[in-house]
Amino acid sequence: MAACAIRRGFLTVVSKYNKKHTHRILGVIEGSSGLEVKRPRLPCLACGLPNIQQTRFMSSRPEGKVLETVGVFEALKQHGKYETGQLFLHSVFGYRGIVLFPWHARIYDRDIIPPMSDSKPEPPGSHGSKEVKGRTHTYYQVLIDTRDCPHISQRSQTEAVTFLANHDDSRALYAIPGLDYVSHEDILPYNSTEQVPIQHELFERFLMFNPDKTTPAPPFSARDTLKAWQEKNHPWLELSDVHRETTENIRVTVIPFYMGMRDAQNSHVYWWRYCIRLENMGSEVVQLRERHWRIFSLSGTLETVRGRGVVGREPVLSKEQPAFQYSSHVSLQAPSGHMWGTFRIERTDGSHFDVRIPPFSLESNKDDKAPPAGYTF
């Protein structure tokens, strides 16, 4: 199975066969004679895994259309979790990255129908307020290779993690670029002989090359700076709840993060960051046109927000580029609240339908103290 990282003049198409839990990755290079398609080798019929000895992970050079080998695919982990230092290709957005550490999240999937004995009737006028039981799932804090960031900017804006600034300005935010949260099933692991295979300003500060580590463990180990950074900033990085719902083949995933509290004009202001991923699970090309949010605060206020697109974009979701991901922020003058809403989606024939955004809680369940100023080195 050949894989390709995104480069100039180079398109990576990642198609996931959800029913069979396999992957197909096609690298397409633009040329004067049309499109040259690099087709992957067929996986082993017995185990469903690619022929590892023959699997080469390819990347084009920045200046042109020549492919060069950057690594070799490894077997997917069906059980257990990936370790710190694991190199990977993102199966949806195509970027190269490396695992820093795992998070154990609870996924609340509204597509999973509970048993009849567990289900409760919904009250009239509720926005899908059925009780959803969570299940544990592994996500990873990762570094993104900065060489790939320009090529995924049209499909993902979750290339940075934002924090409250550590001073009196309650609306000031700052960001650590090149950080992302990746679900276990989006990891396509590979290995490399390079001592610095990922370009990111924090790579060598967080990780060190350790060739003496026994295989199949990754040859990169966490430095003390990574362990200290994780421990110190745990409350502001932690991923705990993931919410998911599908409407007419458009799946919406929401991950909220509590960012802390600030005093402003004799009142407390609580801040949250939320990451949203839209994914087209079908074959029809659609485009996001509008957003409609309802934001309820424990103080008793209910705010309605409508607008064109999201973060200034009206992304197209197609079979070739099925997903779009972005992050935004919300503040309340109360320690908790809820958000829910819809996205207005347009089909190619001009008709529209609304995609539900799963309701999610905004909880300030961590110490309400200023985030530490430990992000510069």
DSSP label of 236: H
DSSP assignment of 16-47 equals EETTTTEEEEEEEEEETTEEEEEPPPPPPTTT
The H or E element that residue 230 is part of is helix 224-237
Please give the pLDDT value at position 51.
41
Most confident option among 75-89, 172-186, 259-273: 75-89
Please name the helix (run of DSSP H) or strand (run of DSSP E) that holds residue 237, with its range, or none: helix 224-237
pLDDT score recorded for residue 43 = 38
Give tens-digit pLDDT for 231-264: 988 888 888 899 999 999 999 999 999 988 888 7
Q: How much is the pLDDT for 172?
A: 64
Report the chain's mean pLDDT, rounded to a whole number: 77
With CA atoms as reference, report the closest residue to 275 among 185, 180, 366, 356.
Answer: 180
Integer Cα distance of 278 and 323 in angstroms: 5
pLDDT of residue 165: 62
pLDDT of 268-325, one tens digit each? 889 999 999 999 999 999 999 999 999 999 989 999 999 999 999 999 999 999 999 9
H-type alpha helices, 91-188: 149-152
**Is the per-residue pLDDT at 129 higher than 60?**
no
Numbers of helices and strands, H then E, in the chain: 3, 24
- Is the pLDDT at 177 greater than 90? The verdict is no
Other beta carbons less than 10 A from residue 306's beta carbon: 10
Q: How far apart, in whole angstroms, are the C-alpha atoms of residue 310 and residue 261?
A: 25
Q: Mean pLDDT across the stretch 51-71?
A: 52
Neighbours of 71 (CB within 10 A): 23
Bridge partners (DSSP) listed for residue 359? none
- 184 neighbors 140 (Cβ within 8 angstroms): yes
Q: In this predicted structure, what is the pLDDT of residue 42?
A: 34
Distance, CA of 77 to CA of 87 (rounded, Å): 13
Q: Which letter does DSSP use for residue 53 in this model?
A: G
- List, in order of start, the domains of the chain with CATH numbers: 72-111+134-363 (2.60.40.1470)
Task: Please name the residue that has the structure tokens 């009196």.
Answer: 168
Angle at 164 between CA 237 and CA 314, to 5 degrees: 80
- Looking from the CA of 324 toward its CB, the CA atoms found within 13 Å total 16
> Each residue of 189-213: pLDDT tens digit?
999 989 999 999 999 999 999 887 7
